[in-house]
Amino acid sequence: MYNKNKGFEYEKIAERYLQYNGYKILEVNFISKFGEIDIIAKKNGRLHFIEVKGRLDTEHGYPREAVTFTKQKKLINAAKYYFMLHGKVDYPCQFDVIEIILESKEINHIKNAF
């Protein structure tokens, strides 16, 4: 349960960061049979599918390293399912990663991560 609560904490930090930077949050924790998309947001006519990863520190690597090729495939398939549910989207989309390192209070927004 601890990890799930930490995940929600990281997602809330990411939501505030995105809103502060002009993103409109469309959905949080979009769940499908393919996997979960942490945040779906829109900015400047572009749809962003965002994976949030966080750690207390970088002793065991950077959070972004946890977004493996397998995880990327799941996110892409979940995004396809999102489009299937919501119909045609007339604007471009991309996959971003937001990594949060609590110890150093660092937020890295990796745009077009894959």
Pull the structure tokens for residue 72.
């990327």
- Given a contact cutoff of 8 angstroms between Cβ atoms, the answer to whether 113 and 76 are in contact is no
Residue spans of beta strands (DSSP E) within 1-114:
24-32, 35-43, 46-55, 93-101, 106-110
pLDDT in tens, 1-47: 445 556 679 999 999 999 999 999 999 999 999 999 999 999 999 99
pLDDT in tens, 74-109: 999 999 999 999 887 778 999 999 999 999 999 999
Q: What is the pTM for the complete model shown? A: 0.91
How do strand 106-110 and strand 24-32 relate by DSSP bridges?
unpaired
CATH number of 2-110: 3.40.1350.10
By CB neighbour count within 10 A (0-12 exposed, 13-18 middle, 19+ buried), where does 10 fall?
buried
Domain boundary assignment for the chain: 2-110
How far apart (Å, rounded) are the C-alpha atoms in residues 96 and 84?
20
